[in-house]
């Protein structure tokens, strides 16, 4: 089935509209009155802008600005936003060649005719190419390819069980020194002292 690609009878009007959208306050609805009063695009040229913005995803079906509209007004994401809008509005062209935005005018028109079924000398095909090129002025496909939402994936979490290092083999001759503080009983019985130190020797020095 032939594609119905979006175009404007005055292709340059989208360039004017986008330049003014960047500076104008975001409306609740992108209406004819907004285009006429705030963007200063009047007559039939202005009338064609809201439907076109809906076709490329900058405006929702109810006329409210879409997330892409808001991204476009941010200088850091504007290029990626229009690149996404172009891919949405001209999806059939990207299905044939994902790098169609790099084509020269002749190849681009041939592609438009291919996906729309239009004649090679079709005025509509020429307007479609001209509209596409005016949009492309604002697009940055290099950023769009990196993904806007754009965040480096974290390293996958490893759930390998922790294994405790093997205990030191006593045969390695590990030498430890101890500092022992003793509270000795108040006695003069030598047998008591002998018993205390014998116990220390048996339990500490022999590792029992």
Residue 138 corresponds to which tokens in the numbers above?
């604002």
Q: What is d(CA 58, CA 22) in angstroms, rounded to the nearest whole number?
A: 12
Condensed to tens digits (0 to 9), the pLDDT of residues 93-123 reads: 999 999 999 999 999 999 999 999 999 999 9
Q: What is d(CA 190, CA 108) in angstroms, rounded to the nearest whole number?
A: 108
Q: Would you list the domain boundaries of the chain?
A: 12-145, 176-205
Condensed to tens digits (0 to 9), the pLDDT of residues 117-155 reads: 999 999 999 999 999 999 999 999 997 555 444 333 333
3-state helix, strand, coil in the chain (%, to 5): 50, 0, 50
Condensed to tens digits (0 to 9), the pLDDT of residues 15-63 reads: 999 999 999 999 999 999 999 999 999 999 999 999 999 999 999 999 9
> pTM (2 decimals)?
0.69
Q: What is d(CA 121, CA 55) in angstroms, rounded to the nearest whole number?
A: 24
């Amino acid at each position: 089935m032939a594609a119905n690609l979006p175009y404007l009878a005055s292709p340059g009007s989208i360039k004017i509209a986008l330049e003014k959208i960047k500076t104008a306050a975001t409306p609740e609805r992108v209406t004819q009155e907004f285009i006429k009063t705030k963007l200063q695009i009047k007559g039939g040229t202005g009338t064609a802008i809201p439907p076109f913005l809906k076709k490329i995803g900058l405006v929702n079906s109810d006329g409210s600005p879409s997330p892409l509209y808001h991204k476009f007004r941010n200088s850091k994401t504007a290029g990626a936003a229009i690149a996404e809008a172009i891919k949405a509005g001209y999806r059939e062209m990207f299905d044939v060649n994902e790098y169609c935005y790099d084509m020269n005018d002749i190849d681009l028109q041939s592609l438009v005719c291919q996906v729309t079924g239009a004649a090679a000398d079709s005025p509509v095909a020429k307007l479609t190419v001209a509209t596409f090129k005016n949009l492309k002025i604002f697009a940055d496909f290099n950023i769009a390819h990196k993904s806007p939402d754009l965040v480096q994936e974290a390293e996958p979490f490893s759930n390998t069980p922790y294994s405790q290092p093997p205990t030191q083999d006593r045969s390695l001759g590990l030498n430890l020194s101890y500092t022992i503080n003793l509270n000795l009983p108040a006695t003069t019985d030598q047998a008591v002292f002998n018993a205390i130190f014998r116990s220390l020797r048996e339990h500490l020095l022999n590792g029992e």
